[in-house]
Amino acid sequence: MSTPRDSFSSKFGVIAAAAGSAIGLGNIWKFPYIAGENGGGVFLLVYLIFIVLVGIPVMMAEFIIGRRAHQNVFGAFRTLSKSRRWRIVGIMGVLAAFFILSFYGTVASWTIEFLTLAVKNSFEGQSAEQIATMFNNFSSSTWKPLIYHLVFMAMTAIIVIGGIEKGIEKYTKILMPLLVVIILYLDINAVSLKGGFEGIKFLFFPDFTKLTPTLFIDALGHSFFTLSLGMGVLLTYASYFKKDTNLTNTSISVATADTIIALLAGVAIFPAVFAFNTEPTAGPGLVFITLPNIFEQMPGGYIFSILFFLLLGVAALTSSISILEVVVAYLAEEHKISRTKATIIASSAIFATGVLCTLSFGPLKNVHIFNWTIFDALDKIASNILLPLGGMFISLFVGWKLNKRIVFGELTNYAGIKIKFFNLFLFITRYLAPISIFIVFLNGIGILKF
């Protein structure tokens, strides 16, 4: 027998949980390096435009579907549409969450290892090349990454078993303020570095000579990825919202919190990068290879490195619990089993798949799917196919399929709130968002290249 549906108990709980789902490795790990590769300030400007024009409206669309249906991502489309074809969007959401958490745990295991190394002061006296060797030796080994991966999944499962109010809401109310305190401490110390202001200029002052078509695609794609759109996370969370939750304000609050954390991560990283004459275009290795070498050279670097990787771990955990909840809610409600049993089944299956992802850097590195390692294959399938298609269909569903009176009613809390942008919202969900997302999709699968 399935357990009764839970709900968030407070507005702060709603914001903390929803913002926690969006704030993750995408903000602390991916945003700094993708901004660094695309010219800093000009990328930030385009990224913010896409957050407003596409990200927030698609988030609102997910919230509308979730709260209206009061169901998991699959059940929502089954309930709101008589057509079986729309249920495929729900299945895509569950699969995207499953695949993403499978490889997300691998990156989380790297974070745990580097937090351990930071505590032991293992970066002292190490060059960037030696730290790269440390990273490669760990990621390509067998048992230690798997143990850390298992620890991370166990922590995620324990929180999700607790339910919405006593599990996810309770812990995100603790983890999100902790995340903010850590990142603010890092920022204060970073901007005080000699030469660090060059990093601030790089991040906040646009150089329009760096504007390229690829930058637009990267900015739109990252705005979508960082807000956790298209995988049913926010839709699932919205199914636990109370009827008086203001969907528009919640969407804006979540997007604002997500963007601020990404900017604060940039403020923590780029001043240090410029202060020590390191290239901001270091790519994915910026966090795990370049930064530890910088920390080792800067005053107070020992504390700085510990707090940074602790921050990275907290951000990973707030996202992982929301991703796991998508699969757990589906199993519990569609297959009528308890939350505890659903969590054990989901986390075990995801970990089993995650084992293959983790080992794809070592013993399974020669096993390929479509010329990709297992890790890269799940990343590409989820990020380049399932997420953009899911977001596009969610936008189209609200823009065209769902009755306009329902859409208007959910946005206004059935006359409890006044809105003046309804026609603009419909235009974005019907045309602007789907077309923009489809371009990202075509680029992601290689049909459209810039």
Tens-of-pLDDT digits for all 450 residues of the chain? 344 556 676 677 777 777 776 777 777 777 777 888 888 899 999 999 999 998 999 999 999 999 999 999 999 999 999 888 999 999 999 999 999 999 989 989 999 999 999 999 998 888 878 888 898 899 999 999 999 999 999 999 998 998 777 777 787 888 778 878 888 887 887 888 788 888 889 889 998 888 888 888 888 878 877 787 888 888 998 988 888 889 999 999 889 988 888 888 888 888 877 877 776 665 556 677 777 877 777 777 888 888 888 888 888 888 888 899 999 999 999 999 999 999 999 999 999 999 999 999 999 999 998 888 999 899 888 888 888 899 999 999 999 999 999 999 999 988 778 888 899 999 999 999 999 889 888 887 778 776
Q: In the structure encoding, which two tokens stand for residue 226, read together?
A: 């960082």
Question: How confident is the model at residue 1, as a pLDDT?
Answer: 39
Question: How confident is the model at residue 280, as a pLDDT?
Answer: 66
Total count of residues recorded for the chain:
450
Query: Residue 185, CB half-sphere, CA atoms under 13 Å: how many?
Result: 16
Beta carbons within 8 Å of 347's beta carbon, 6+ residues apart: 153, 154, 156, 157, 160, 324
Question: How confident is the model at residue 379, as a pLDDT?
Answer: 86
Q: Other CB atoms closer than 10 Å to residue 385's CB: what's the count?
A: 17
| Strand, coil or helix: 372 | strand
276, amino acid identity: F
Question: How confident is the model at residue 382, as a pLDDT?
Answer: 85
Beta carbons within 8 Å of 381's beta carbon, 6+ residues apart: 99
Question: How confident is the model at residue 237, as a pLDDT?
Answer: 87
Classify residue 84 by its DSSP letter: G
Question: How confident is the model at residue 251, as a pLDDT?
Answer: 92
Q: In the structure encoding, which two tokens stand for residue 131, read together?
A: 């730290």
Closest CA to 34 of 389, 25, 123: 25
Q: Each residue of 276-288: b (16+ CB within 10 Å) or e?
A: bebebebeeebbb
Question: How confident is the model at residue 5, as a pLDDT?
Answer: 59
Cα–Cα distance for residue pair 180/147, rounded to 1 Å: 28
Question: How confident is the model at residue 219, as a pLDDT?
Answer: 85
Question: How confident is the model at residue 66, as a pLDDT?
Answer: 93
Q: Quick check: pTM over 0.75?
A: yes
Question: How confident is the model at residue 162, as a pLDDT?
Answer: 86
Question: How confident is the model at residue 224, as a pLDDT?
Answer: 77
